[in-house]
Structure 1
Amino acid sequence: MLVHLQVMGIEAIHIETFLSLAQQHPVFDVRSPAEFELAHIPNAFSLPLFSNEERAIVGTHYKQINKQQAIKTALPFFAQKMVPMIETVEQILKTNKQPPTVLVHCWRGGMRSAGVAWLLSLYGFQVYTLQGGYKVYRQWVLQQFEKKYVLNIIGGYTGSGKTKMLQQLAQQNYPVIDLEEIAIHKGSAFGGLDTPVQPTHEMFENLLATQLYARATTYNSIIWLEDESQRIGNINIPIRFFEQMRLAPVYFFNIPFEERLNEIMHIYGNAPKEKIVNAIIRIKKRLGGLATKNAINFLLEDNIKESFAILLQYYDKAYTKGLYNRVNVEQIVIKIEAPTTNATNNSQLLQSLLKTSHHE
């Protein structure tokens, strides 16, 4: 297959080269819409050779009859898509003002990518395919979580403005990864209020691996993250990477309860009551029957602050348990007393601390 592709002027390339070229040229994923929706290479375009139904038919013929019959079945499906596929690629290249170079992949780097690559090459595009396809890409993704990184963690109780601090650091060109942004969830039972649907676990891994690789190769220095439990909504942080997070220094911002309560009010105070009640019920077993009842009653009486105060006390206890359930906690947790949740001020506090420690 590789020899045939090279004869046609199509080169099948290694994953590292493929991802490097993907920084400059569009990637076209020719798997079915269902495969793409489950997960894909970040920023790739869906250019399915077969619909979900067509893929099932071709696959059945391949398994139950033979390869030749599968190809005969596939060709009419392919034929009716040839012109639309070319026009789609042309439009994307025109929109992004790219030179006529495209990257194509399927699941294993087999017939689907070969067929589409042949068509696009015949039309005049410079085409590269991925050796081993998306399957090899997934192997690359999982390898990123096995690598060793130098991490620093922003810590603090719920409502401390940790995410805003990360954003401040990013604006100052510190290498930052916002796990909650990737997961589309703020972490607590209320983290999914009025947010889009979370990505699949596989897509989360793809996005995280891409950011880790970019930060490590571009900055070659410390990566800053927010302190998280392993689970963010319905997403689990890959265990190997999470273990590294648990061993990293934690810069814990100790901010007064009232300040944090005001921050929580600002973020969630206007959320629909029904959604807040449902979120409270989800943590009922851990919160306790009486606290759950009181939190809901305060909410229904429009005393939102008292309701949130009960919840914040619960999350403070849960966070304390997670914070101190670390190896060598006395050595890796650095407490910073901060009077407010002001992210700009706290970012300056952190940088002052870092400068001081470097001089010592």
Structure 2
Amino acid sequence: MGNRLTINGGKMVKLVEYSEVLEKLEEYIIIDVRSPKEYSEATIPGAINIPLFDDKEREQIGYIYVNESVEKAKRIGIEAVSKKLPYIYDEILLLHKPHKKLLFFCAKGGMRSGSISSLISSLGVTACKLKGGYKGYREFINRELPAINEDIKYIVVHGKTGTGKTKILEKLRNIGFNVLDLEHAANHRGSLLGSVGLGAPSSQKMFETLIYEQLKDKNGIYVFVEGESKRIGKTIIPDYIFSAMRDGYHIYIDGSIRFRSENLINDYTMSPNANIEIIEALENMKKYINEKNIDEYKNMINNKEYEKVSEELMLKYYDPMYKNSSKSHNFEAFIDIKSIDDGVNKLKKWFEDNLDLEV
């Protein structure tokens, strides 16, 4: 069990390891008291952000702490927090229930989480503090994720752009298979158009956290995963996972140009700003496609000629690129599919025929 810290006339705040929290996660409400920017870059899944300092305050206090005076930085911090205490207290009370424990964390488990957990505890609310803060949580992920990966045999699904690999894997998960969706973890589809309609991509830290979340409850050693290059958007697949994928079973799926085009259109044109985002992404393709063609594609997008653009991009850009990248794999099977469900059924049959395991 975690150690205990004595505070405020004998009141106790429990110091807990994340591994202990994970065993009884349903008992905790996790509160991230770091700044909004820190929270947006990476946090513990499910954590709620109640920042003690906004981004500007944190930057100012940090500068003074390092370059001027620790005591001055503390004083400015106290002044900044004191104005917000009624709001912070109200927010915390809204989260607190009799059967829940409040778990606070900051960057390193230091002053921010220590002060607020001590204060809340002194006011009669059950409060805990995460040992090592977010840094301690990262140490947990850096230790546990490689350990989980050691026991995995990946089934790597390859296929040309538009074959619906992500949707197929999602349906395989829904019927009981272990699946690692790297693109979901990265919040990026892995191509130059990969961020369209998805918002900001994940940071590297959040990427690895979301991989861990997908793998921690796996049943059995086999995990389906989509074939990816080592970089997905701005994130990089850890070496130990990429190496295990390379050594896994590799399956190639394919489909008609019409089927693939329909999938691409559904994936990329659903967001309100789809046309703007697609046109911005096309600008990034100028080193692969000549400017005249890019301009033609932009006009097609503005005229909502999505099918024509998608087929052009597949035939002239994506398919040749994918053909070159897939040469390094020895495929166990080549599967032609006519729909997403057809792909699910054929991969399921391959699994049952070749690995002889019950799902």
TM over 0.5: yes
The alpha-carbon distance between structure 1 residues 263 and 70, as it changes in their structure 2 partners (threshold 3 A), is closer
CA contact 2:5–2:14 (8 Å) conserved in 1: no
The alpha-carbon distance between structure 1 residues 124 and 151, as it changes in their structure 2 partners (threshold 3 A), is farther
Distance 1:345 1:290 in 2: 38
Establish whether residue 132 from structure 1 lines up as the match of residue 132 from structure 2: yes
After TM superposition, give the deviation of residue 150 of structure 1 in Å.
Answer: 2.7
CA contact 2:197–2:268 (8 Å) conserved in 1: no
Which residue identity is paired with 2:238? P
Distance 1:20 1:145 in 2: 17
Distance 1:241 1:27 in 2: 29
Residue in 1 aligned with 2:41? 38
1:158 pairs, out of 155, 158, 161, with 161
CA contact 1:145–1:238 (8 Å) conserved in 2: no
Distance 2:62 2:265 in 1: 54
After TM superposition, give the deviation of residue 299 of structure 1 in Å.
Answer: 5.8
After TM superposition, give the deviation of residue 225 of structure 1 in Å.
Answer: 1.8
Establish whether residue 309 from structure 1 lines up as the match of residue 311 from structure 2: yes
Distance 1:192 1:5 in 2: 48
CA contact 1:107–1:134 (8 Å) conserved in 2: yes
Establish whether residue 18 from structure 1 lines up as the match of residue 15 from structure 2: no
More helix by share: 1
The alpha-carbon distance between structure 1 residues 238 and 23, as it changes in their structure 2 partners (threshold 3 A), is farther
Distance 2:63 2:267 in 1: 51
Task: State the TM-score, normalized to the length of structure 1.
Answer: 0.83
CA contact 1:30–1:105 (8 Å) conserved in 2: yes
Establish whether residue 285 from structure 1 lines up as the match of residue 283 from structure 2: no
Deviation readout 1:305-337 (Å, 9 max, x if unpaired): 443222112212222222222xxx32xx22233
After TM superposition, give the deviation of residue 21 of structure 1 in Å.
Answer: 3.9
After TM superposition, give the deviation of residue 135 of structure 1 in Å.
Answer: 1.2
Distance 2:275 2:132 in 1: 50
Distance 1:273 1:65 in 2: 50
- Consecutive unaligned residues in structure 2, runs of 5 or more: none
CA root-mean-square deviation: 3.0
Which residue identity is paired with 1:349? K
Residue in 1 aligned with 2:353? 356
Residue in 1 aligned with 2:247? 247
Establish whether residue 209 from structure 1 lines up as the match of residue 212 from structure 2: yes
CA contact 1:183–1:204 (8 Å) conserved in 2: yes
Residue in 1 aligned with 2:238? 238
> Secondary structure of 2:27's match?
coil
Which residue identity is paired with 2:341? T
Deviation readout 1:191-224 (Å, 9 max, x if unpaired): 2223322233332233223333x234xx243222
Which residue identity is paired with 2:154? L
The alpha-carbon distance between structure 1 residues 129 and 354, as it changes in their structure 2 partners (threshold 3 A), is same
Identity of aligned pairs, percent? 25
Residue in 1 aligned with 2:194? 191
Distance 1:64 1:270 in 2: 49
Deviation readout 1:62-92 (Å, 9 max, x if unpaired): 4355544444443333333333222211212
CA contact 1:215–1:223 (8 Å) conserved in 2: no
> Secondary structure of 1:10's match?
strand
Q: Give matches, 1:35-184, under 5 Å.
A: 35-64=38-67, 66-93=69-96, 99-147=99-147, 148=150, 149-184=152-187
Which residue identity is paired with 2:260? R
After superposing the two structures, state which structure 1 stretch, 243-252 or 4-13, moved more.
Answer: 4-13
Count of residues in Structure 1 that have an aligned counterpart in Structure 2: 347
After TM superposition, give the deviation of residue 115 of structure 1 in Å.
Answer: 0.6
Which residue identity is paired with 2:50? L
CA contact 2:155–2:224 (8 Å) conserved in 1: yes
CA contact 1:151–1:249 (8 Å) conserved in 2: yes
The alpha-carbon distance between structure 1 residues 166 and 65, as it changes in their structure 2 partners (threshold 3 A), is same
Which residue identity is paired with 1:114? G
The alpha-carbon distance between structure 1 residues 21 and 85, as it changes in their structure 2 partners (threshold 3 A), is farther
- Consecutive unaligned residues in structure 1, runs of 5 or more: none
Deviation readout 1:230-251 (Å, 9 max, x if unpaired): 2333333333322322222122
